[in-house]
Amino acid sequence: MRVFLHTSGISWEKENMPNTHSLVDSVGHGRYRQKDMLRKVVVCAAYMEEIPSVLPIGRIEKRFGQEFKHLQEEVSQQMEALAQLTKGVQDALFHNIPAMLGDREALQELMDMLEQEPLGHLSGPGGTILNELRKDSSYPPVNPKYPILYLLEAIMVLSDIQHDLLAQSKEKRILLHQRELVRSILEPNLSYPWNIPFTLKPELLAPLQGEGLAITYGLLEECGLKMQLDSPRSTWDLEAKKPLSALYGILSMLQQLAEA
């Protein structure tokens, strides 16, 4: 005997369900049977809730579908804080952080100096950023260190190869197009706990032809996605979740600095 749940298309074999015969058989009066059948349904429903691996996609989306929304909210908060910095600080960040890409020691030193009170001292690009921060006496509602540290920590998640590709992306002015492409991957796939195929939209690939496309695919491959220049198809990989989310935050913040 099978019990079919028409709303989800899932069927359960009788032997896989909890033993509920006693709920009905122990009561001989007909007036109790309806109540007992209801209890049987409740027990079965509780049993099914304990097996998330067979939840239909609709319920997975309902339960986990907020993940990209939360990422977007987090990145947006940091972008708002970044926008409150002076033009001098924003320019210093946009021109000097890319100059440090690939130099993890310099990036870590800048993070360490930002966490000091008062600000520490450095030479080179990191020192330029710190000097501009010292000039900023306006003290916006949000500590100016926070969005900078957020950006630096995200950069540290990426590989050295990605650092080089990011620097090239800035020079080619393709950050905006890359951000929209990364968003198109994350938004529908970030919630899923398994590998699923996806196809990149042609209109998002069009502005990234030639070397720009090769650079962008390189960034995605380093995140853990298998990409081929002659194909818009790939497969979502759980290992890509963290670096791709970091890349989305970096591209969003660098693009905002470019527009400042």
Percent of the chain predicted with pLDDT > 70: 73
DSSP for 42-69 reads HHHHHHHHT-GGG--HHHHHHHHTTHHH
Other beta carbons within 10 Å of 226 = 12
pLDDT of residue 143: 80
Cβ distance 224 to 139 under 8 Å? no
pLDDT in tens, 160-207: 999 999 999 999 999 999 999 999 999 999 988 888 899 999 999 999
pLDDT in tens, 92-105: 999 999 999 999 99
Other beta carbons within 10 Å of 92 = 21
User: What is the value of pTM for the model shown?
Assistant: 0.74
Q: Give how far Cα 132 sits from Cα of 83, 174, 195, Å.
A: 15, 27, 45
Percent of the chain predicted with pLDDT > 90: 62
3-state secondary structure of 260: coil
Evaluate the omega torsion of the peptide bond into residue 118 and state whether it is cis, within 30 degrees of 0. yes
pLDDT tier, 239 (very low <50, low <70, confident <90, very high otherwise):
very high
Residue 18 phi/psi, 5-degree rounding, is -60, 150
Question: Per-domain residue ranges for the chain?
Answer: 2-54, 67-259
- Give the H or E element holding residue 4: strand 2-5
pLDDT of residue 192: 82
pLDDT in tens, 55-105: 333 444 444 557 899 999 999 999 999 999 999 999 999 999 999 999 999
Is the pLDDT at 139 greater than 60, yes or no? no
Distance CA 210, CA 206 (A): 10
